[in-house]
């Protein structure tokens, strides 16, 4: 670990250089990151760390600058750049001019940008989360890697979706958009256009909440004027799914993981918790009928490869039919997660019949 607040203790001993696989960088320094490693220049050490695969910035108070990226990229085999920062942090955007001036192609293949947001249960009546920053200051870096990036995790409120959908992402296999405060305005096709540019997508994780009129996650509207291929998908996580979404009719038979759940849990909205009511747009939870309609869109049944299924729904007259259908089309399930909410007026639930 490179602690910029105690750089004199952070220098990795030369004997360890061939074996260092992960480097954690934290703290703050008025000096360049390149000089924050004991008596040595980190820029002299990094090219010798041939096993270094992952660099993680956490509690790095000055923010990751382009000069920092340029320094850590001198390690010859770094593939993963992970940045963990506070939810409301505002940074100066990395200059795209600096990125275009680099002479050696970056080896980074995975960018995992994580913003810390306290769990709802940790909120107090006198405190609420700071608003999400509306830009991702490393967006120019992300966009510059569109031809080589393989994994991308980024908060939905910060994702440069408009720019992303104009570029090809030929090697991207995992896309995770999370968090809250997403408002697609008048364009319901933005996600479909983006997915159309990601031909090798294997992991799709869209667990975010909405602002504005939309209260469910819609990827492919029924009137979409172009086709999108999802033939390589192996894992799909979508919170508060829209039953009209045609995405589900394109899911391949080799899908292994399908989770259509409620995050955060719907009971926060159901109970009118002021901590949620004042900070989130109320989401629309699908009924058992809605989830059954989604599953019936799957084009290849049975799904022999599906091992993990998660669903959330409000009980209605189709609940038994839904559970029977799950048993019929997913014979090889290893994991089943059900978030069941009572229908209006229901006071008790026969949980034994639900499980059986």
Q: What is the pLDDT of residues 120-155, one digit of tens each?
A: 555 555 555 555 555 677 888 899 899 999 999 998
Q: Tokens 């966009």 — which residue? A: 143
Q: To 5 degrees, how large is the angle CA 146–CA 234–CA 168?
A: 20
Structure tokens at 83: 């940045």
Polymer length in residues for the chain: 356
Average pLDDT of the chain, as a whole number: 82
Residue 213 has pLDDT above 70, yes or no: no
Spell out a b/e string for 290-324, using b for 16 or more CB atoms within 10 Å of the CB, else e.
bbbbbbeebeeeebeebebbbbbbbbbebbeebbe
In 10-132, alpha helices (H): 42-45, 66-72, 96-100
Residue 326 has pLDDT above 90, yes or no: yes
Residue 320 has pLDDT above 60, yes or no: yes
pLDDT at position 30 is: 47
Spell out a b/e string for 212-228, using b for 16 or more CB atoms within 10 Å of the CB, else e.
eebbbbbbbbeebeeeb
- What crossing angle do the helices spanning 288-295 and 319-329 adopt, rounded to 10°? 30
Give residue-wise pLDDT tens across range 59-104: 887 777 777 888 888 899 999 999 988 766 666 666 555 565 555 6
Give the containing element (helix H, strand E) for 236: strand 235-238
pLDDT at position 135 is: 62
SS3 259: strand
Average pLDDT over every residue of 276-297: 86
Contact assessment for residue 220 and residue 193, using Cβ atoms and an 8 Å cutoff? no
Average pLDDT over every residue of 36-45: 68
CA dist., res. 223 & res. 144, Å (int): 32
Q: Percentage of residues in the chain with pLDDT exceeding 90?
A: 44
Residue closest to 303 by CA, chosen among 311, 312, 295 = 295
């Amino acid at each position: 670990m490179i602690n910029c607040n105690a750089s004199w203790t952070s220098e990795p001993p030369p004997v360890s250089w061939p074996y260092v696989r992960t480097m954690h960088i934290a703290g703050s320094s008025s000096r360049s990151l390149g000089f924050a490693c004991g008596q040595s220049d980190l820029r002299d050490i990094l090219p010798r760390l041939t096993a270094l695969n992952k660099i993680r910035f956490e509690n790095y108070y000055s923010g990751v600058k382009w000069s920092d990226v340029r320094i850590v990229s001198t390690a010859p085999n770094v593939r993963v750049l992970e940045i963990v920062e506070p939810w409301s942090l505002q940074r100066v955007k990395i200059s795209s001019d600096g990125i275009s001036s680099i002479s050696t192609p970056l080896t980074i293949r995975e960018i995992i940008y994580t913003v810390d947001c306290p769990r709802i249960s940790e909120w107090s009546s006198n405190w609420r989360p700071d608003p999400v920053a509306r830009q991702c200051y490393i967006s120019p870096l992300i966009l510059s890697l569109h031809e080589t990036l393989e994994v991308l995790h980024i908060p939905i409120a910060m994702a440069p979706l408009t720019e992303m959908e104009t570029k090809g992402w030929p090697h991207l296999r995992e896309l995770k958009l999370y968090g809250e405060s997403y408002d697609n305005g008048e364009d319901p096709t933005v996600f479909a256009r983006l997915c159309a540019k990601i031909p090798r997508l294997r992991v799709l994780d869209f667990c975010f909440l909405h602002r504005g009129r939309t209260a469910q996650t819609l990827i492919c509207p029924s009137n979409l004027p172009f086709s999108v291929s999802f033939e390589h998908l192996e894992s799909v996580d979508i919170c508060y799914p829209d039953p009209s979404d045609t995405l589900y009719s394109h899911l391949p038979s080799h899908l292994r993981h399908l989770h259509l759940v409620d995050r955060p849990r719907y009971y926060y909205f159901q109970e009118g918790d002021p901590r949620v009511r004042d900070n989130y747009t109320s989401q629309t939870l699908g009924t058992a009928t809605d989830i059954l309609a989604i599953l019936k869109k799957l084009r290849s049944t049975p799904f022999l490869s599906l091992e993990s299924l998660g669903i959330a729904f409000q009980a209605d007259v189709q609940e038994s039919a839904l559970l029977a259908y799950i048993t019929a089309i997913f014979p090889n399930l290893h994991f089943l997660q059900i978030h069941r909410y009572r229908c209006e007026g229901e006071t008790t639930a026969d949980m034994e019949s639900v499980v059986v």
